Structure 1
Amino acid sequence: MTEKDNIRIVPLAEDPSLISRVYEINDTWPVFTPHDMVASALLSRVPEDFPQYCVAATDGDRVVARGLAVPFNSVLDGREAMPDQGWDRVLAWAFRDRQYGNAPTAASALEISVDADYLGRGLSYRMLFALRRAAGRQGHDALLAPVRPTAKHLDPRVPMADYLRRCRDDGLPADPWVRVHVKAGGTIEKVAPASMTVSGSLAQWRQWTGLPFDRDGSVEIPGALAPVHCDTAHDRAVYVEPNVWIRHGMEPHTA
């Protein structure tokens, strides 16, 4: 049996025992992202409240990857399928729709996280396809994704639209994670310019990052896709992260 064959990927609805275990993995998210207020309030509830849209990968008894997605209503007044506030907005809409009984019309991925020990094995592709299949089983004709380009932090001052124009000689996106989505059949639709927002006092940012935050203006921090804006007079700093909306259509057999 190959290493790949040992890994099992299932929707959480089919194995509820994994719901409480999806955060056991050693992921590589930047230290500041959990301080996004929408994430801190709602993200941990996604596996339990939307298990039919979420998947987990296991290697024996070990959870090695998670994929989270949510349904939401994109046609209510003031809404759209791919909002400029991206990740934050669809997560908030999903829980509001669940509370008020609004029928979902769209599904959005939220994250695919692979344990650091399992990176580079093609597992991210398999998790992406598993999320698509899960959304297709719920009757959706597409899976949307506000994608966080994994190499964008190397050029935080480059506008996202310009960054997305960077391609390899074969025409595929230069960014590795965007390239995974495109090779899997996804189409780049638009930039989500304010997909996540993290704000805090300067003391909080110093604690989160270990940086001084003692000067006004733009501050580059590890893992950030854009600079953080520091305002010493008002004792605050704000990070607004751009993402990229990618649309994945469904193969006929996934519906």
Structure 2
Amino acid sequence: MKNKYKVVTLKERLDLKDEFSRLHSIGWVKFMREDPIGVKNWGKLLTYFPEFQFLLLNDDLEPVACGNSIPFKWDGNENSLPSGWDGVLEKGVLDFENNVSSNSVSALAIVIHPDYRGQGLSDIMVREMKGLVAKSRLDKMVAPVRPSLKSKYPLIPMEEYITWKREDGTPFDPWIRTHCRTGASIIKVAAESMVIPASVETWEDWIGMELPSSGAYIIKEGLVPLQVDRETDEGTYIEPNVWLEHHLT
């Protein structure tokens, strides 16, 4: 690889705290940054767990990617996993505030600046995140993964989508494939991983399209359709993700 990259945690470089929000604002569509659980707990994530948030710096020491994860307590039973992204973020924060000892870590996000995508940084970021978990001496690592091509197939159930394979037998989805290549296996679908409710007008602003009547709407970057109810003036996006477990040894 031509470029040399340096990894720093937020604990090591508190002066780079704002870079996480900057990268997320570039890497995600508007509605994905409006998840109420995420909005409520984002500041706490960075404050409580700086050693689990990291940045990838380029040759000029500019942040080009970031990784976010959170420790939490989990007994290893798939049935006791949180609901998904919202659930594990909330649980990790509550565990910390209630002095509950963590034994696991969940990945929350890996964001790569658009200018640096397609250069193999996905593998680097996943491996670096696993390295941080290994250093923390926690037992398990999981991730509520957002499949990168699922938005092209919003009407296909996630349960079916994750069974799709390429000719070589590897997962069809590139992001799931990256995780599996770096030592992960699928646990199950997180059917209600992230729930984003808002007024119809707010949704129209977020997605840049009109929503004239009640019904299901396919939206840009949505993994599933947006459900709109004009009578109650509410649009609700319920995103499914995929729980994966990374094997640390």
**TM-score class, shorter:** over 0.9
Query: 2:244 matched to 1:250?
Result: no
Q: Tell me, which stretches of 5 or more residues in structure 2 are unaligned? A: none
Alignment of 1:45-56 (within 5 A): 45-56=44-55
Distance (Å, rounded) in 1 between the aligned partners of 2:3 and 2:186: 29
Q: How far 1:31 sits from its partner (Å)?
A: 1.5
Read off the aligned partner of 1:240 and give its amino acid letter.
I
Root-mean-square deviation over aligned CA pairs: 1.9
Q: How far 1:11 sits from its partner (Å)?
A: 2.6
Aligned to 2:132: 134
Alignment of 1:1-255 (within 5 A): 3-5=2-4, 7-25=5-23, 27-59=26-58, 60-75=60-75, 82-83=81-82, 85-251=83-249
Contact kept, 8 Å, 2:44 with 2:93, in 1: the verdict is no
Q: Percent identity?
A: 31
Distance (Å, rounded) in 1 between the aligned partners of 2:57 and 2:130: 18
Q: How far 1:204 sits from its partner (Å)?
A: 0.6
Cα 1:146–1:107 shift into 2, 3 Å: same
User: Deviation string for 1:153-195 (max 9, x for gaps)?
Assistant: 0011110010011110011111111110011111011000000
User: Deviation string for 1:63-105 (max 9, x for gaps)?
Assistant: 1110000011224xxx96522x200001001111111101112
Read off the aligned partner of 2:49 and give its amino acid letter.
F
Contact kept, 8 Å, 1:54 with 1:134, in 2: the verdict is no
Point out 4+ residue stretches in structure 1 off by more than 6 angstroms. Answer: none
Distance (Å, rounded) in 2 between the aligned partners of 1:165 and 1:52: 35
Read off the aligned partner of 1:243 and give its amino acid letter.
N
Contact kept, 8 Å, 1:56 with 1:66, in 2: the verdict is yes
TM-score, normalised with respect to structure 2: 0.93
Read off the aligned partner of 1:161 and give its amino acid letter.
E
Q: How far 1:47 sits from its partner (Å)?
A: 2.6
Cα 1:81–1:58 shift into 2, 3 Å: farther
Q: Tell me, which stretches of 5 or more residues in structure 1 are unaligned? A: none
Distance (Å, rounded) in 2 between the aligned partners of 1:210 and 1:20: 27
SS at match of 1:3: coil
Read off the aligned partner of 1:39 and give its amino acid letter.
G
Distance (Å, rounded) in 2 between the aligned partners of 1:152 and 1:119: 18
Contact kept, 8 Å, 1:74 with 1:80, in 2: the verdict is no
TM-score, normalised with respect to structure 1: 0.91
